[in-house]
Structure 1
Amino acid sequence: MTEQRIGIIDIGSNSIRLVVYERTSRGAHRVIDGSKRAARLSEHLDEDGSLPDRTIQELIDMINHFRLICAHHKTGLIRAVATAAIRNSTNRSHVLSRIESETGLPIELISGVEEAGFGFLGMINTMSVTDGFLIDIGGGSTEVSLFKNRELVRAVSFPFGCVSLATRFADGGMLSDAQLRELELHIGQAIEREAWLKQEPGLPLVGVGGTVRSLGKMHQAFVKYPFESTHNYPIEGQATDELIELLRKLPVSKRKNFPGLSKDRVDIIVPGLAILRSIFRTVGGSHYLICGAGLRDGLFFSTRFPERPRMEDVVMYSVNNLAAMHPEAPMQHTSQVNRIVLQLAGTLQPQRPSEDRSLLFIDIASTLHRIGASIDYYDYKRHTFYLMVNSRLNGLSHRELLICSMIASYKSKNRTKQNAALYRPLLSDEDIAVVCKLGTLLQLAIALDRSETQAIGKLVVETNDGKLRLHAVRASGSLDVERKEVEAQAGDFKKLWGLTPILL
């Protein structure tokens, strides 16, 4: 594919969204623009199930607006898809032909199962979860999938969503006990026909879409969670039940002020969460897991990588993508530091339990330790920390992301403890000890290429008599700068590793 920029337009039942992706000169992918317009198409269906001309015209105006944004960015390809509201309308052919003739864009009307497939692709390329159920609650449909060993096994699309159920069962956004029972009975009757939903209890229910993201934001605000991202955020079943009851009892006028809830969702959030809870109970979920990616991300991956849209290694794809977005970091130096630190870690910690992820942490931290220099070389470590924490490195839990960011930006044990205090209780004393050990290891590897000339071609590492002997077997040029830097690191290194490093 030669296009450098791809626009994805998602014509959903609740909102119409645009995302513009860019491929940089170094092969990184990033979002450079996005826009959202509330549509509530499911609410506008006539008694005969058709979308009125007025609504179609508003939709055309919105899409033309998005086309202008894409034109401004010189977008090479625009892919537009329509989901449940248009799929379920009785005049869908008329709607699609009018949109296409008045915008010049071909619109893909995707089926519920295709929608589930794109949602799965967006999720599986941004999370490390292996087995589970996936739910995407839209305005007019709800897709539920089962995946095992990171492969999609089954998928179903139910013809109800948060907007359509709010219109049918809620009274101005309020659900009485009787209305809730009626809504849950309606969902239960549809679910009952899909026996496979009850055959894999104990798996996480991964959620994509606005309803689930809102749940994450509200829960984080409620518990004063110290980390901003909702991507990969776990929530227990009981906590969700408590939030639903809290919201259900609040009048819509007061619900507007509920922390984490956007104003355009106040009347549809409770029906949406009722769908989520019903599916959770049916599948016997272990807990909820929120995914910040979804349909639009899946559409991007399938468009950009049509031959192999699914990533084999989510974490390292994401790490390398972030590194490529910051070309100011000297790539040859970073590669040398990465090679050396992995060798040191392998020598000093040869035996690791299978659950130990320290080798992955140091691999990530060493690859990204200099990206902060793209903001300012002075104090680049602080900028590296900020960039890593706010770039949503996929496949890592929030705790793991913090650990990697703190290793990459390591300065001293005291500074680490100060930083960690902001993120309690996400980080344990053991985590802080790991950061300090691996942080000093990374600093030693950086010292071994302080001149940034990759002078050490081969390193032989030996440990005896309390010394870490570093033999530069193949070296080109003087290593005076590196020796002085290793000496400067020796005191801190010995405190944590019990060894004094010497460059020979």
Structure 2
Amino acid sequence: MTEQRMAIIDIGSNSVRLVVYERTASGAYRVIDGSKRQARLSEHVGPDGKLTSLAIEQIVHTLRHFLMICTYHQTKRVRAVATAAIRNAANGREALSAIRAATGLEVELLSGEDEAYYGFLGMINAIDAEDGFLIDIGGGSTEVSLFRGRKLVRSVSFPFGSVSLNRRIGQSGIPDSQSLKEIEAIVADAAAGEPWIAESPGLPLIGVGGTVRALGKIHQASSGYPFPSNHNYRIEAADVAQLFDQLVKLPLDKRRKFPGLSKERADVIVPGLAILQRLFQSMKASHYVVCGTGLRDGLFHAERLAEEPVLPDVLASSVDNVQRLYLNAPSRHVELVERLALHIYGRLEDIYRLPPDAKLLLQTAAKLFRIGAAVDYYEAAKHSFYLILNSHLNGLTHRQIVLIAAIASYKGKGRLRQQLADYRELLHEADLEAVTRLGMILQLAIALDRSETQAAWPLEAKLLPPALLLVPAPEAGHLSWEQAEVKELAADFKKAWGVVPELLLQHHA
């Protein structure tokens, strides 16, 4: 398999974006470049409903720049799409013809239904959610979808967005009560015209796009949230209402300095959040979830997984991708460590009450414990901790990612406390002990294949307190190195589990 690259260009109402994806020789996928240019196309529509020639020239200029980047990366395919601003413009088709003539790029005009579908595809392959609402608030349109059993059930595209409704606020950027009421009335009337929106109360509202991502950053900044991502980040309705009230009252110059909010979004965040809250109320949703993926990711998945674009297991796919990105670890060794760790866990899990997700945490840590060696073999544990925290491990909460990183890099309780100090607010009271116990199981599994020859398998773990007997098959190979490693771990393992592991070699049987 050779490296392949493709690019997605999204001509949106608020911005024009480029993402360049690479499939590595190992079959992993990653983003290798990305760029964004402010557009605000909804603000460049004349009284006749047409995009101005200046707006079209700016798009052409941006696309030429993006195509230079694509040429540099030797991309084999460029897929460009346009959304609401061009879709709703009276001269949208003429604008696309002018763009094609000037750049040679064939831009696909997405319908509102297409936009909703690709947004759903980008989200559902990044979040492990069975049922919920999805919202994508763009500059010129807002897509709302309902999904059940990870399948898209209903969707609608409303012809308003954060940029187009921003005009109602006026130049000051501070909406008066009347303009806010007008915005809310527009949104409420649109929702009322789609009765299904109100027929599934109690579901989460998952948001993609700039407004919801900005909300996540603001909320995290306001609370000093320690995790380096807002993907799959939960926010309660009361918190959104409080932040909205704060932002509404601020003049633009002060809003631009609001913690977590980018200057370029300061003027459109209020109408965007007004749309979000009003639709949340219409749905009677339970809470908000920020999704870091969206339309461009959905387009990528549609290209990559044309026959079955919805991944059956979000976590398994993302873990497999991370493993393929860091191929320094011998696959047979990693596979055996995972098998041994789960086997030993099965013998010990009843000794202490562990979190319900303990097995999942251990299994994922066992798959990824070695990736740090790609940076430095001698500091592999430290680098594994960092890489796991900053990799795209979809389908997990932030707490779970922190715990997996700690289990995978476990080297003792003292170091563990230092690692987890910055993440205390994410963790439960019993997590430190759970990581210690699961980390010791992983270390024991690694010790049992220290020579990386897989000589210890098949192996039977027998719990006979105060001993945990590890009995390899009679035909097992030379295991003296493994036996020494197990003895070295024995004291710490006993502190964690109350039993002493002992590897029984064949001549001891």
TM-score by length of 1: 0.97
The residue type equivalent to 1:460 in the other structure is E
CA distance in 1, matches of 2:354, 2:83: 43
The SS at the match of 2:222 is helix
Equivalent residue number for residue 431 of structure 1:
431
Equivalent residue number for residue 362 of structure 2:
362
Give matches, 1:58-137, under 5 Å. 58-137=58-137
Alignment coverage as a number of residue pairs: 504
Give matches, 1:424-463, under 5 Å. 424-463=424-463
CA distance in 2, matches of 1:374, 1:170: 54
CA distance in 1, matches of 2:220, 2:110: 34
The residue type equivalent to 1:363 in the other structure is Q
- 1:77-116: per-residue Cα shift (whole Å, max 9, x none)? 1110100000000011111111112211211111111101
Equivalent residue number for residue 386 of structure 2:
386
Which region of structure 1 is more displaced relative to structure 2, 440-449 or 184-193? Answer: 184-193
CA distance in 1, matches of 2:158, 2:96: 22
Equivalent residue number for residue 144 of structure 2:
144
CA distance in 1, matches of 2:49, 2:475: 76
Equivalent residue number for residue 227 of structure 1:
227
The residue type equivalent to 1:226 in the other structure is P
1:249 deviation in Å? 0.6
The SS at the match of 1:489 is helix
Give matches, 1:178-193, under 5 Å. 178-193=178-193
The SS at the match of 1:488 is helix
Which region of structure 1 is more displaced relative to structure 2, 35-44 or 45-54? Answer: 45-54
CA distance in 1, matches of 2:232, 2:341: 28
1:225 deviation in Å? 1.0
Q: Contact conserved, 1:169 with 1:183, CA < 8 A, in 2?
A: no
The residue type equivalent to 2:488 in the other structure is A
CA distance in 2, matches of 1:141, 1:33: 27
The residue type equivalent to 1:113 in the other structure is E
Q: Contact conserved, 2:410 with 2:440, CA < 8 A, in 1?
A: yes
Equivalent residue number for residue 507 of structure 2:
none
Q: Contact conserved, 1:458 with 1:474, CA < 8 A, in 2?
A: no
Q: Contact conserved, 2:168 with 2:179, CA < 8 A, in 1?
A: no
The SS at the match of 2:120 is helix
Does residue 37 (structure 1) correspond to residue 37 (structure 2)? The answer is yes
The SS at the match of 2:377 is coil
Does residue 240 (structure 1) correspond to residue 243 (structure 2)? The answer is no
CA distance in 1, matches of 2:352, 2:214: 39
The residue type equivalent to 1:433 in the other structure is E
Equivalent residue number for residue 334 of structure 2:
334
CA distance in 2, matches of 1:418, 1:480: 34
CA distance in 1, matches of 2:114, 2:205: 19
Q: Contact conserved, 2:143 with 2:156, CA < 8 A, in 1?
A: yes
Q: Contact conserved, 1:11 with 1:80, CA < 8 A, in 2?
A: yes
Which region of structure 1 is more displaced relative to structure 2, 336-345 or 34-43? Answer: 336-345
Q: Contact conserved, 2:355 with 2:434, CA < 8 A, in 1?
A: no
The SS at the match of 1:306 is coil
Equivalent residue number for residue 312 of structure 1:
312
The SS at the match of 2:470 is strand
CA distance in 2, matches of 1:322, 1:297: 17
Equivalent residue number for residue 349 of structure 1:
349
Structure 1 residues 298 and 2, CA gap change in structure 2 (3 angstroms): farther
Equivalent residue number for residue 398 of structure 2:
398
CA distance in 1, matches of 2:351, 2:103: 62
CA distance in 2, matches of 1:355, 1:165: 46
Equivalent residue number for residue 56 of structure 1:
56
CA distance in 1, matches of 2:236, 2:115: 27
Unaligned segments of structure 2, at least 5 residues: 505-509
TM-score by length of 2: 0.96
The residue type equivalent to 2:257 in the other structure is N
Q: Which runs of 4+ in 1 moved over 6 A?
A: 350-355
Structure 1 residues 2 and 324, CA gap change in structure 2 (3 angstroms): closer
The SS at the match of 2:163 is helix
CA distance in 1, matches of 2:346, 2:106: 54
CA distance in 1, matches of 2:132, 2:172: 35
1:183 deviation in Å? 1.2
CA distance in 1, matches of 2:129, 2:170: 35
1:347 deviation in Å? 2.4
Identity, % of aligned positions = 53
The SS at the match of 1:166 is helix
Structure 1 residues 354 and 295, CA gap change in structure 2 (3 angstroms): farther
Structure 1 residues 278 and 482, CA gap change in structure 2 (3 angstroms): same
The residue type equivalent to 1:150 in the other structure is R
The residue type equivalent to 2:393 in the other structure is L
Does residue 303 (structure 1) correspond to residue 303 (structure 2)? The answer is yes
The SS at the match of 1:478 is coil
Q: Contact conserved, 2:3 with 2:25, CA < 8 A, in 1?
A: no
Q: Contact conserved, 1:459 with 1:474, CA < 8 A, in 2?
A: no
Structure 1 residues 64 and 352, CA gap change in structure 2 (3 angstroms): farther
The residue type equivalent to 1:345 in the other structure is Y
Equivalent residue number for residue 9 of structure 1:
9
CA distance in 2, matches of 1:298, 1:331: 30
- 1:246-276: per-residue Cα shift (whole Å, max 9, x none)? 0111110111111111111011110000000
Equivalent residue number for residue 482 of structure 1:
482
1:181 deviation in Å? 1.0
- 1:403-454: per-residue Cα shift (whole Å, max 9, x none)? 1111001111222122222112111221111111100000000000111121
Structure 1 residues 2 and 84, CA gap change in structure 2 (3 angstroms): farther
The residue type equivalent to 2:408 in the other structure is A
Equivalent residue number for residue 412 of structure 1:
412
The residue type equivalent to 1:482 in the other structure is E
Q: Contact conserved, 1:60 with 1:103, CA < 8 A, in 2?
A: yes
The SS at the match of 1:94 is helix
Unaligned segments of structure 1, at least 5 residues: none
Equivalent residue number for residue 268 of structure 1:
268
CA distance in 2, matches of 1:493, 1:113: 56
Structure 1 residues 158 and 376, CA gap change in structure 2 (3 angstroms): same
Q: Contact conserved, 2:2 with 2:25, CA < 8 A, in 1?
A: no
Q: Contact conserved, 1:457 with 1:475, CA < 8 A, in 2?
A: no
Structure 1 residues 458 and 192, CA gap change in structure 2 (3 angstroms): same
CA distance in 1, matches of 2:57, 2:381: 51
CA distance in 2, matches of 1:353, 1:452: 32
1:463 deviation in Å? 1.1
1:10 deviation in Å? 0.4
Does residue 171 (structure 1) correspond to residue 207 (structure 2)? The answer is no
1:382 deviation in Å? 0.9
Q: Contact conserved, 1:207 with 1:289, CA < 8 A, in 2?
A: yes
1:475 deviation in Å? 4.8
Which region of structure 1 is more displaced relative to structure 2, 247-256 or 96-105? Answer: 96-105
1:460 deviation in Å? 1.3
1:316 deviation in Å? 1.0
CA distance in 2, matches of 1:288, 1:186: 22
1:355 deviation in Å? 7.8
